Amino acid sequence: MILEVDNLQIHYSTRDGTARAVDGASFVVPEGRIVGLVGESGCGKTTAVRAIMGVLAENGRQAGGRIVFKGQAMDEATTRRLRWRDIAYVPQSAMSSLDPVYTVGSQLIEVLTKRGGFSRTTARARSVELFDLVGLNERRLADYPHQFSGGMRQRAAIAMALALEPSLLLADEPVTALDVIVQRQILDVLRSLQQRLKVSMVLVTHDISVVAYLCDEVVVMYAGQVVESGPVREVLARPRHPYTMGLRNAFPDLLSDALELVPIGGSPPDLREPLSGCRFVPRCPFAQPACSLDAAMSGDGVHQSACRRDGEADTLRTAALDPRTWQRSSSFAMS
């Protein structure tokens, strides 16, 4: 395992109380694999990834749990040392992630010289290589960020992330801001890079089709916790947690059957409130009274699910395929 996240807790202090953005999330990233971190906005996936980079906002802090990278527990000093050199980040919007007043090339060289210790000449040569790697013309090095198109900017962001040859790449919604055709291109770039450079990746997204296209493993998050994890094919074909079942329904292009889009009613809980038991209860069509008490992970070591009714997964899954299941919440959930 190149990365192990163990019972991570990230808290934000807000005017209205402490928001527990990540509340006991655990997952692992096997070496050389692409792990998709999927969930709705606000589920804590971006926070978790930023915590790994050590760049939480001023009012955020890691309140518990461990992050272990290459067998080493990550404290502030280690994080600062390893930043970009071994763990790098691909942002969602490269437009706002690049300084608008410097050329892309100079920002690349900045990272190479200041963090990588290369000489300017070597850095320049290396930036040409990096652009080549992501399919960008080297003449673009002299351009400013606003002169790039969306897809090209993401390629540049990927090049920037790979500059110091990190072992782990954290990609935060890297294709969300792009149109579908360009999305595929960028995902292909990521895939080919991953295969060539043997880089491990965590791909954060809310789009399950992206996960299906690119990832080897998937970790599903909801309300700050991990609710299901396992190999991609397995989890998407045979989801064991009602939330994943609902997510899958929301992206019917994955399934060969032409199903109608079925949104999951309701919205995620307020993370500032104290919550107990399974957090999906208010929106879950299969909720039972016992669900509010606890929700521990169960399942074989490979495919895990945090649902108490894991044993009945097959029955629930069939019921989940029927849109009417989602239109009425369970009688318990309504109370």
Partner 1 sequence: MAERAEPAPARTGWPLLPVLRRMAAMPLKDPFAFAGVLIYLLFALVALFAAELAPLDPMEILFTKAGKLAANVPPGAEFPLGTTNLGRDIYAQLIYGTRSALAVGLSAAIIVATVGTIVGLVAGYFGGTTDAVLMRIADMALSLPFLPFVIVLTGFLGASTSNIVLAVALLLWPNSARVIRSQVLTLRERAYVEAARVTGASAWRILFVHIAPNILPLSFVYAAIAIGWAIITEASVSFLGFGDSGSVSWGMMLQDAFASQALSRGQYAWFVPPGICIVLVVVAGFFISRGYEEVFMPRLRGR
Partner 2 sequence: MRLVLERFTHNALALLAVTTILFFMFRLMPGTPLAAFINENLNADQQQAMLEQFGLDRPMWQQYFIYLANLLQGEMGLSFFQRRPVMTILLEVLPNSVILTLTSLIIAYIFGVLAGAWLAWKRGSWIERAAVPAVLATRAAPEFWIGMVLLALLSFNAGWFPSGGASSPGMAYSSNWDRIFSLDYVHHLALPVLTLALYLQGLPLLLMRSNMLEVMHEEFVTMARMKGLSEWRIVIGHAARNALLPVVTAFALGVGLSMGGNVVIETVFSWPGIGRLLVQAVSVHDYPLAQGAFLMIALVLALMNFVADLLYMVLDPRVSHGRKS
Binding interface with partner 2 (CB under 8 A): 53, 55, 80, 83-85, 89, 91, 93, 96-103, 110-111, 114-115, 143-144, 146-149, 160
Joined tokens for residue 209: 């089709």
Residue 14, binding choice from partner 2, partner 1, none, Cβ under 5 to 8 Å by partner class = partner 1
Q: Residue 324: which residues within 8 A CB-CB, separation 6 or more? A: none
Please report how close the Cβ of residue 12 comes to partner 1 at its closest, in angstroms. Answer: 7
Please report how close the Cβ of residue 38 comes to partner 2 at its closest, in angstroms. Answer: 22
Joined tokens for residue 12: 């934000």
Residue 115, binding choice from partner 1, partner 2, none, Cβ under 5 to 8 Å by partner class = partner 2
Joined tokens for residue 198: 């043997």
Q: Residue 216: which residues within 8 A CB-CB, separation 6 or more? A: 30, 33, 34, 35, 231, 232
Residue 138, binding choice from partner 1, partner 2, none, Cβ under 5 to 8 Å by partner class = none
Of the two residues 93 and 103, which places its CB atom closer to partner 1 in the complex?
A: 93
Residue 276, binding choice from partner 2, partner 1, none, Cβ under 5 to 8 Å by partner class = none
Of the two residues 15 and 324, which places its CB atom closer to partner 1 in the complex?
A: 15
Contact flag: residue 13 with partner 1 (CB under 8 A): yes
Contact flag: residue 137 with partner 1 (CB under 8 A): no
Please report how close the Cβ of residue 37 comes to partner 2 at its closest, in angstroms. Answer: 17
Q: Which of 213, 206, 219 is closest to 188 using CA atoms?
A: 213
| Three-state DSSP class for residue 243 | helix
- Chosen residue from 59, 137, 147, 318 binding partner 1 by CB under 8 A: 59
Of the two residues 29 and 104, which places its CB atom closer to partner 2 in the complex?
A: 104
Of the two residues 114 and 198, which places its CB atom closer to partner 2 in the complex?
A: 114
Sheet with 298-299, strands from edge to edge, namely 87-90, 168-172, 200-205, 34-38, 217-222, 225-231, 304-305, 298-299
Q: Residue 256: which residues within 8 A CB-CB, separation 6 or more? A: none
Residue 59, binding choice from partner 2, partner 1, none, Cβ under 5 to 8 Å by partner class = partner 1
Of the two residues 15 and 146, which places its CB atom closer to partner 1 in the complex?
A: 15
Report, in angstroms and rounded to the nearest whole number, the Rg of the chain calculated over CA atoms.
21
- Chosen residue from 41, 58, 273, 334 binding partner 1 by CB under 8 A: 58
| Three-state DSSP class for residue 80 | helix
Q: Which of 45, 19, 40, 12 is closest to 267 using CA atoms?
A: 40
Round to whole Å and give the CA distance between 220 and 314.
Answer: 18
How many residues line the site for partner 1 (CB under 8 A)? 8
Site residues, partner 1 (CB under 8 A): 12-15, 57-59, 96
